[in-house]
Amino acid sequence: AEMYAVHFVHAALTPLKSIVSQASTQNYNKVFDMEEYYHRLQIFIENKRIDHHNEGNHKFTMGLNQFSDMTLLWQTINIIYPGIILKEGTCKFKTDLAAAFVKDVVNITRYEEMGMLDAVARHNPVSLAYEVTSDFMHYHSGVYRSMECHNTTDTVNHAVLAVGYDEKGTPYFTNPRWIVKNSWGMKGYFLIERGKNICGLAACSSYPRPMP
């Protein structure tokens, strides 16, 4: 039986994207969150984030304010960007093509999974960071638990998007877990145990508040 659940997977999620580098996990993850917020199933381009990262003044940091410099996102325009796979180069951003604006970011209190739960239920998917260890690289299905990873901010190394949660079980035993959008796993999603800060997933979490 399903005790209670929130599933953005069945609501408004865009297709999965290829993650090609550690820095790009942040870029894609923040853009995923904006795409889910607007519920239009339109793909926002990450190129401005990546271009500006490569300019040298946006070094990779897995911190709480990764939305703060993402002030503009824009839709995929095949004339300007022929396809989703983008290459490094000169920033091609055009202000008049902007499709979404980030007003500010809400940083969820560190290690507060109930705060994350409330945000997913009341607002939209939550961006989070956690530590990927060797055992997770071979994840295929089921609820992930790990005895290898840590649960502090200094060990997180991968950014993903919590798109829902549920609680399967019986009146006597439940199995709470997060539903997470990734680039591998069960068709690009995985389940991870909820409520125990597994691998530091509650160490750095946030979500954007876009402008109307």
Residue 12's CATH number:
3.90.70.10
pLDDT tens track for 56-87: 433 334 444 444 344 344 333 333 434 444 45
Q: What is the reported pLDDT for 97?
A: 67
Q: Examine residue 157 and state whether it is found in any structural domain, yes or no.
A: yes
Q: How many domains does the chain have?
A: 1
Q: Which residues contact 21 (CB under 8 A, 6 or more apart)?
A: none
Determine the structural domain holding residue 184 and report its residue range.
6-210
Name the band, by pLDDT with cuts 50, 70 and 90, for residue 184: confident
Do the beta carbons of residue 189 and residue 181 sit within 8 Å?
Answer: yes
Q: Examine residue 111 and state whether it is found in any structural domain, yes or no.
A: yes
Q: Examine residue 1 and state whether it is found in any structural domain, yes or no.
A: no
Q: Examine residue 139 and state whether it is found in any structural domain, yes or no.
A: yes
pLDDT tens track for 92-144: 666 676 666 777 888 999 999 999 999 999 888 899 999 999 989 889 888 99
Q: Examine residue 23 and state whether it is found in any structural domain, yes or no.
A: yes
Torsion angle of the four alpha carbons 174, 178, 179, 180, in this order, in degrees rounded to the nearest 10: -160
Q: What is the pTM of this model?
A: 0.69
